[in-house]
Chain A
């Protein structure tokens, strides 16, 4: 339509309104207000698709807020979002259902000797809801003049030219208004093309457009990306329980039910207990996606964790008011996608920031501060060199290489891989010397599946319906399924005999179901967008496509 001519063109397009993308957008606008910046996000409202533990290192966040707002410490919003500062920093080892030992002495010791995992401390960090923090950053972005548009799901990137000259011209949104059968309905709207001079990919873990771009622009990773899957519940507890737990405690617990020294299981990860809201305690379970048990589901481990005597006393009788799941990219420094010819994290006018690039520091088990830092760095690069869009990838990478993000990521480059290679018992001690060890080629997570069973499997199946209800997930139900099975034959004939269709078990939302002897994504409208399926199917037989914009979970306090 004529009245709309020109409205599909923007100068800088940021894909993904999470902490990284918003940090980039805010930085550009603060430095060069005349540059038009537009951020799109598939969630219906700001923060709806953002989930994390989360403890966040304050440094980069303060830098961003200082730049954007100047005075912010006293504001009501700051009090609300950043009101919980970690004081009681507990790192525990759970042995069985009752025992808990503090690991703090060994971490302090490691810290003293400047060993890697000595960085695993959180005192002074903020304990936050990342959905709330993101919603705040989104409002800040709007205030400084960024266009933040929600409900728009990007499906692809449009590249022009080949090889080193390849330039992205824009991003294509997903088609909307098709029926179950794929046919266009009366309200069909073909995915619009948004044209942009510079594109910042900030989609978060395993980004759809990011991975399309990595493929199209022929970026490579030195080692495969490794993931963890995190599931989380926010529980409303009694006054007494909350008082006992305190408003500033932060608990990380290794061991049971993911790992026991002799009889197994042996999985990487652990449970968390934080609080970022009065009378609410957040419990979560983060598990390395290289688990080998075909019948394992992180939610089962979470349920076990909640029954552990240390955890139970604080949450027993409480009501789960919100829940959600996500993946965490843990491959670290060597799993960051780069242009093999130039080593840039991106190509020409396209750059990748935050979790989409994989800036999680596994020694600190935190990535939010790096997401914000990399976003701000991207923003500075774009603001300074906008007139030369094809130089953006180079400028961004160079600036990043001079930053703490780069130093920290390099320092942690072998930690996660060492644990993956040698297992917890040997891997943790070895990780002290990880950076003197050679580079390991770790297999992708989907290749680790075996017929083994998880020893602490619970008799009663986890109530995934209640879980997805607490995530307030919703999609337009008439749309075509957004999850594709590459070869249904595998699901029908091969997988059942070997692994008994683990997708049915591990999908935290119960998307997969066995119907007429075949595992299928039968309930796509339950999907939490965690993408565990496309990284954990033992036959690498699942591809996650993006559903219509506005669909997915509606996290408010995750």
Chain B
């Protein structure tokens, strides 16, 4: 008999975002305008836990829902109680507000401990089950950090569960496939990536849930070690609306031209990089600038302007260094400051102090944690290397790569060619399979020996598990899924040459720039495809450094039962997604056309490709629902989205709006999709496809 503590979170309903949810002045999303709902993946986690309880079969297993949030988060607990949960705990306290993932995972871990002590009689046969990530934060960090805090095995990205001989066996997503694993011991943390059969509220259960008492704990009740803003390891510098893309809506007359444009779009570097349009120039260290008072590398243009003003005034007063400003000069400067940027004494002091700061706040190299399978380094690692090289050059430090596995030294050469100066190789037989516990222990240990100033991970199923664990273990802040990484100053805070980490949040509806604080090292993950790899340079020189780590069987947390690569799992991270609509008329037609196109593209265009479908096509049974693209399916953002015989209903187009280029083919010249795509061909699909395949296949 096992128990299940389900972590649930209340989030704004991002599916309800309309134009009037955005502030007309700033363009920022007004969160208060959105209704609050349970995070969808947490609803799935609750169903997953209930399913585990049923599989277990023995009576007495409890499901306990736990959330941390404002008092209104009670709603998600009632939601859970109406769907099978037996008890509900609300961790709520003003002091806990404003927390980042670090200061969220920590109090939650203490709450789990208290639940186990007081409600489960100290039992250790329990699972902490949670959605893989929340739709507002999108970081996927809290469950893994909670596992780290509690020292528990973490089964991340679970999609299924079966009864095992001793403990439950989970199916989880790994890069390029899936794997069956079982935790070697309980308790364990499980994060759910997809479990579609969410529970329905019962009528009787809803009425029961309404009168059921919810257990409320404050911060003092659980006594966490990290609390709220103060306990956080990151801070938000600014929030801004994402750049809106304009579709070209260009009618293309010939298949040849269509294919040409498609090839060009695929080759284009991701437009996402540099989405932080506010500042774009390469960073220069203060001591290399014409004047040490040159502050044109601040994080925001507003800040750059403020310093420019100040320096201008100092110049006008013939003051050469910030230290030479006396009280009289200060008064003059304050008096002269403009209404829009009115200074006060404290602000001026901060700025003057900032002007004196010239040494970088962090020391050490820029590192990348490598990911690999089957003796091959992942493309995402090379992309990070490209970025790391760039960052390291402007900081005048070296690029290091950590490469951990059973026998991996052979891959070091390709990393040096890809831009690394040092490759830190960790080899150990127990690292043969990806076990998050053993992996995070080894890598954290090596990071702790050298203390780089920046560590980058790929935001892949692997990276998104070990990055939170490693950062938590080392006491460092972490920003997930960055789309832009820049070195900038935050002079007012006395910070020089820090990593500004820009990432989308709230389902891509806002962008946030984040800085690390109170940490020895700045850590971030970035999505594959965001940064550009450098051309491999075999003549580059670098050093391969062997690192020894001690691992025993006890460091393993999971038994790997079976690994499957390249199964039917859908890879919507592919560079090109080709979708078919109802206009393809039949399942066999859909299959014929999609097979032809995807195999040709994969073979000749050297890129990853996946097939998608409109809702109508799925409902006609042309393809399984996992392939459904759109608001109710999966929202995708490939480099190229090719829509075949899809009319372009709003619901579909919302789900592809993040695509860099949208191509469409339809026989109806009035198809709405033509007004929402970049390039389109009008014509009969059956007639166009043979020519299209031929042209795509031509080298």
Contact = CB atoms under 8 A, between A and B. Distances in A.
Interface residues of A, number: 34
Contacts of A463: 672
Contacts of B277: none
B204 A187 contact: no
Given A465-B672, A522-B616, A7 B205 contact: yes
Contact of A7 (B47, B207, B672): B207
A152 interface: yes
B207 A147 contact: yes
Contacts of A522: 616, 619-620
A515 B203 contact: no
Interface string B194-208: 001111111111111
Nearest to A474: B632
A318 interface: no
A286 interface: no
B167 interface: no
A243 interface: no
Contact of A465 (B204, B620, B650): B650
A10 B348 CA distance: 68
Contacts of B198: 187
A3 B208 contact: yes
Contacts of A176: 200
A10 to B, nearest CB: 8
A147 B204 CA distance: 12
Q: Which of B197, B201, B203, B207 has the most CB of A within 10 A?
A: B203
Interface string B630-646: 00100000000000000
B200 A149 contact: no
A515 B620 contact: yes
A469 interface: yes
Contact of B201 (A38, A151, A466, A477): A151
B51 interface: yes
A3 B207 CA distance: 11
Interface string A1-27: 001100110000000000000000000
Interface in A31-74: 38, 40
B206 A192 contact: no
B363 interface: no
A321 B20 CA distance: 10
Nearest to A171: B203
Contacts of A187: 47, 197-200
B203 A8 contact: yes
A192 B650 contact: no
A465 B649 contact: yes
Nearest to B15: A474
A523 B614 CA distance: 12
Contacts of A186: 47, 51, 197
Nearest to A524: B619
Interface string A526-550: 0000000000000000000000110
B394 interface: no
Nearest to B84: A1
Contact of A523 (B206, B208, B616): B616
Contacts of B230: none
A142 to B, nearest CB: 11
Interface in B293-333: none
B202 A192 contact: yes
A145 to B, nearest CB: 12
B651 interface: yes
B573 to A, nearest CB: 23
Interface string A436-471: 000000000000000000000000100101100100
A423 B632 CA distance: 45
A477 B203 contact: no
A170 to B, nearest CB: 11
Nearest to B628: A477
Interface in B232-263: none
A291 B117 CA distance: 70
Interface in A119-159: 147, 149, 151-152
Contact of A4 (B196, B204, B651): B204
A123 B101 CA distance: 58
Nearest to B35: A45
B488 interface: no
A194 B197 contact: no
Contacts of A152: 203, 206
A208 B204 CA distance: 22
Interface string B431-445: 000000000000000
B208 A4 contact: yes
Interface centre among B204, B651, B670 (most CB of A within 10 A): B204
Of residues B620, B649, B650, which shows the largest number of chain A Cβ atoms within 10 Å of its Cβ? B649
B200 A189 contact: yes
B625 interface: yes
Contacts of B206: 149, 152
Given A189-B199, A465-B651, 8 more contacts: A151-B201, A152-B203, A152-B206, A187-B198, A192-B204, A469-B651, A515-B620, A523-B616
Interface of B: 18, 47, 51, 86, 196-208, 210, 615-616, 619-620, 625, 632, 647, 649-651, 670, 672
30 contacts: A4-B202, A4-B204, A4-B205, A4-B208, A7-B203, A7-B204, A7-B208, A147-B210, A149-B206, A152-B206, A173-B203, A177-B197, A177-B200, A187-B198, A189-B199, A194-B203, A321-B18, A463-B672, A465-B649, A465-B650, A466-B650, A469-B649, A469-B651, A474-B632, A477-B625, A477-B632, A522-B616, A522-B620, A523-B616, A525-B632
